Amino acid sequence: MFGHAKPRAGRTRTAVLGAAIAAVLGACGGDTADLQNPGAGWPPSPAVTGHRGASALRPEHTLASYLQAIDDGADIIEPDLVATKDGVLVARHENDITGTTNVAQA
């Protein structure tokens, strides 16, 4: 109406997902960084990694899964990120999506 482009739903979803992931990762923070000795004490030994969150208890790569992993004591959340053809990062375990989508038929 005023010459502004209508935001695409995909960009909105990406922004919301990015904000959610940033919030979850921010919640993982602890003490203030030691600027004189970067990396000191990180990762803790041994480090507990939530691979795809707490995928045994919640759907993997969801905010619920990441929060569950943090509640269960994960020091690190390790998502599997795959780049799409247009360069968008998607949290997904497999690189090939033809086995779980109808993309091959399109």
Task: Please report whether residue 78 resides in a domain.
Answer: yes
- At 70 the pLDDT is 92
Instruction: State yes or no: is 51 an active-site residue.
Output: yes
- Asked whether residue 71 carries a pLDDT value surpassing 90, the answer given is yes
Q: What's the structural domain count of the chain?
A: 1
Q: What is the DSSP string of 60-71?
A: TTSHHHHHHHHH
Q: Cβ distance 65 to 59 under 8 Å?
A: yes
- At 90 the pLDDT is 84
Instruction: State yes or no: is 61 an active-site residue.
Output: no
Catalytic residue among 17, 42, 51, 92: 51
- Domain extent, residue 97, equals 11-26+43-105
Q: Cβ distance 47 to 75 under 8 Å?
A: yes
Task: Please report whether residue 5 resides in a domain.
Answer: no
Task: Please report whether residue 38 resides in a domain.
Answer: no
pTM over 0.85: no
Task: Please report whether residue 31 resides in a domain.
Answer: no
Catalytic residue among 43, 56, 57, 93: 93
- At 64 the pLDDT is 93
Task: Please report whether residue 3 resides in a domain.
Answer: no
Note the pLDDT tens digit of each residue in 12-62: 666 666 766 766 666 555 555 566 776 666 666 788 888 888 989 999 888
Task: Please report whether residue 1 resides in a domain.
Answer: no
